[in-house]
Copies of this chain bind each other. A is one copy, B any other.
Amino acid sequence: MRYSLTEQQQARRAEFREFVASHVEPRAADWERDQVVSRQVVQLMGERGYLGSNLPCEYGGQGWDVVTFGLLNEAFGRASSSLTSYLTVQSMVAMALLKWGTREQKSAWLPRLATGEIIASFAMTEPDTGSDLNAFKTEFKRRAGGDTLILNGNKRWITCAQVSEIFLIFGKMDNQSVACLVPRETPGFTVEPIRELMGFRAAGLAKLSFVNVELPPSNIVGKPGFGVSHVMPVGMQYGRISTACSALGIMRGCFEESVAYAARRKIGDRSLGEIGLMRRLIARMGTDVEAGNFLCYNACRAEDERAPESFETALAAKYFTSQASVRAASDAVQLRGAAGCHESSPTARYYGSAKIMEIIEGTTQVHEDLLGRMYMGQAGVLGQ
């Protein structure tokens, strides 16, 4: 095997692909048009354990390694970026909770997340702060007496929020950053769907609004001051790995669909694949798939090994595959011409979704800044 996948990893990959071919691929276009994924498929994913794939067995999870989690995300990304986002956010919240939650929080929520009984959302972005994580306007205040927190603020572009039952909300309290669990049904908390996106339309994005929402202090994850520095990075790491692999799925989809199309489509006597300008597109896609595949595998492996390079490898994987998926989708559309722009072709879906990959979990520009900084940190040990 090329990436030294174990037999078990290979077997699971085969299972994931089969699931996707049967349950996702045939309906992905409908979901995008309808702007919602089917409840049934999410339930089925829960039954298969996909929504708790890397939670430990003691919480009802599968205890799979991160490489397997990557294979899962890639397989789903091949067919539906929107549905893959369920894997993304579920793991972001679950893994942050596993690492920093109290015993009570974990036993209350992890088993339900593991089975997909409920979906969770991870809510950082605000209307005015963009990626400046220290500028939250969302605020928690302790009520006099200290037995209750009062939450006010707004979040935007929160993936899966249309269907989530539990939200990990980041904000500040007394100038410290805080992460706190907020159940959907809490009074004063409203969720407003965001529709009509150019891709990722079935990912259930929404705006959140909190008006004097009352919460018990025991809902804080980690402790005050840990929100941005400790809780968030755990979630973001899974968010980046999931997104990187999801984008790899798009790349593989573009490549495979392009090869198949170029083989069967004739222009006069020649197939598209016999034309140099088309072969060029295919050569580039195929090479990028290989390169992206490794970068994703490497990021997953590093996380599995808790290796020191795990942060930078996840950044590199997401940085590369998100951009390469945009290139691949553009070329795949181009290769098909007008037919590639219609929803009956997966390339149209890829084209809209791939661009989103360059934005979620940190834009390409944020990655350039962060990754450049990471690499600069190696200056002491490199070169002259």
- A residues with CB within 8 A of B: 2, 4, 33, 125, 128-132, 135, 156-157, 194, 196-200, 255-257, 259-268, 273, 275-284, 286-287, 290-292, 294-295, 298, 309, 313, 316, 319-320, 326, 330, 333-334, 337-344, 348-349, 351-352, 355-356, 358-360, 363-365, 367-369, 371-373, 375-376, 378-380, 382-384
Contact = CB atoms under 8 A, between A and B. Distances in A.
A199 B135 contact: no
Contacts of A384: 257, 260
Number of copies: 4
A375 B283 contact: yes
21 contacts: A130-B265, A196-B343, A197-B341, A198-B343, A255-B382, A260-B379, A263-B376, A273-B379, A275-B276, A276-B372, A277-B365, A280-B368, A282-B371, A283-B369, A284-B368, A286-B375, A287-B316, A287-B320, A290-B294, A334-B358, A338-B359
Contacts of A368: 276-277, 279-280, 283-284
Contacts of A198: 341-343, 348-349, 351-352
The DSSP consensus for interface residues of chain A is helix
A33 B125 contact: no
Contacts of A157: 338-339
